[in-house]
Amino acid sequence: MKTASERHFSPGSPEETPLHKMLFLPAAALCCLCSALVTMAAEQLIQDDLTLTRRVGESVSFSCGGTEQCYGTEYGFWYQKKNKGTFRVILRIYTNNCGVRDRYGHPQENDFLVAKKQNSCELKIEKVKPDHSATYYCNCVKEDTHNRYYRIFGSGTKLSVTDEQVVKPVVSVYPAASRAHLEGNSSLLCVASAMFPPLVQFSWKRQKKNGGEAEELPPAEGEQLELRESGRTIAIRMVDGSDSDTYKYSCWVKHEGGTVEAQTQQGITRLSVCLFVSVCPSVSFQSQCRVKLLCLLYTVLIVKSLVYCCGLSLLMILTNKGASTNCTHAD
C-alpha cells in the first residue's frame, strides 16, 4: 500500500475527453489554478528567510516551520531549484525527529545534513560552494477534511554564494495615479532599490493621523501588484480613498540586511502621474511619464484596431471562399 506522500491522481487521456467538454477546460483550469493559489497562500510551510548570502567555505541553514500541519508528521521533503533549472528533490525526512529517510541520488547529496531546531527541521550545508547557489524549498503532504492528500510548499529561500556584501534597500513611498482613483480608491507606490541580494518582501501598515499604534493593512482592503526590473522592485497597493484623511500609510520592506520602513510624505489624494513606477522628483520628469502614458495608450488602441481589422478581413475571406465553393457545386 502506498503512503500518503506517494499517492497521486492520474488524469484521463485526451481521447477520453469529449470535444464539447474540452471547450470548458481553460475556464476550469483557471478556476482550479485560482483555488490552488488561494490554498497555497493560506496553507504553506514557513520559510522566514527570503535570501541567505554566504562566502565559500561558510555554513548555512535553511529553516522550515509549520510542519505540524503535515500528514501525521510522517515525511517531509527538501528540494533544490537552480536558475533556469527544474525542481530536484534532495532528501526525504521524518518531520517528527528530523531523521533522513531517503536520498535520491542528488549529485551534492553528501553536502546536506538535517538538524533539529526547536520544533522544526533545518537543512544544513557545513561548507558552501559556488554550485550550491540555488533556491531551497521544503515540502510535505497534508490531509484535508475529505481524506484527500495534497502537497504544501514553503515560499523558498535563495542562497547566494558570493563575496558581495549584503546591502539594505533604499525605500521610498509615493502616491501613484490610477484609474481606480476615479472610483473612490487610491494607489500607493513603494520603491525598493540599490539592495543586494535583490529579493525583498513588501508589507503595509497604517496609523491614524491623530496618533495611535500602527496596524497591519487589512488584506481585504485592496490588491497589491509587484514589478521587478534591474536594480529595483516596486509594489503598488490599492487603498480606500475615503481613509486618506484618517490614516497615514507606511511601507515595510523585508530584506536579508534588515527591515526598512518608509512613510508617505503627502496625502494619498495628491496624485503623481507616473506609469512606469519610477520616482518623479521634478516637473520635467513627470511630463516624460505623461508622454510615455499617452504613447502606451495610443499603441494599445492601434494594436486593438489592427487585430480587429485583421479578424474582419479573415472572416470576409472565409465567407467569400465558402460562397464560391457553393456556387461551383451548384454549377
Neighbours of 189 (CB within 10 A): 25
Q: Which residues contact 199 (CB under 8 A, 6 or more apart)?
A: 50, 51, 158, 255, 256
**Is the pLDDT assigned to residue 313 strictly greater than 50?**
yes
Residue 164, pLDDT score: 94
Rank 53-67, 70-84, 221-235 by mean pLDDT and report only the highest.
53-67
Looking at per-residue pLDDT, the higher value among 307 and 4 belongs to: 307
Q: Where residue 324 falls among pLDDT bands split at 50, 70, 90?
A: low
Residue spans of alpha helices (H) in the chain: 19-22, 25-42, 283-330
pLDDT at 237 over 70: yes
Distance between first and last Cα of the chain: 70
- Burial of residue 263, with CB atoms counted within 10 A of its CB: 0-12 exposed, 13-18 middle, 19 or more buried: middle
CA–CA separation, 113 and 79 (whole Å) = 13
Side chain identity, residue 167: V
DSSP-based three-state secondary structure for 197: coil
Can you give the pLDDT at residue 78?
Answer: 94
**Grid cell of 322 as nine digits:** 465558402
Give the pLDDT confidence score for residue 4 in this predicted structure: 47
Q: What is the pLDDT of residues 86-100, one digit of tens each?
A: 999 999 988 778 888
Please give the average per-residue pLDDT across 198-209, as a whole number.
Answer: 90
Q: With 60 as the cut, is the pLDDT of residue 23 above it?
A: no
| Region for residue 73 given its phi and psi (left: phi exceeds 0; alpha: psi -120 to 50; beta: otherwise) | left
Residues 260 and 253 sit within 8 Å (Cβ to Cβ): yes
Q: Which residues pair with 22 in a beta bridge?
A: none
| pLDDT beyond 50 at 6 | no
The region that residue 28 occupies, defined by phi over 0 for left and psi between -120 and 50 for alpha, beta otherwise, is alpha
Distance CA 188, CA 166 (A): 27
pLDDT at 176: 65
Fill in the amino acid letter for 145: T
How many percent of the chain have pLDDT more than 70? 67
Q: How far apart are CA 162 and CA 128, in angstroms?
A: 10
**Tens-place pLDDT, residues 107-146:** 999 999 998 887 778 999 999 999 999 999 999 888 888 8
- Phi/psi for 120 (5° steps) reads -135, 165
Give the span between the Cα atoms of 90 and 112, in whole angstroms: 8
| 137's grid cell | 524549498
Cα atoms found within 13 Å of the Cα of residue 270, Cβ hemisphere only = 6
Stronger pLDDT, 20 or 45, i.e. the higher one: 45
Average pLDDT, the chain: 75
Cell 526590473, located at residue: 229
How far is the C-alpha of 15 from the C-alpha of 225, rounded, in Å?
40
Domains and CATH numbers, the chain: 44-161 (2.60.40.10), 170-284 (2.60.40.10)
Of 103, 159, 155, the closest CA to residue 134 belongs to: 159
- Mean pLDDT for 184-192 is 84
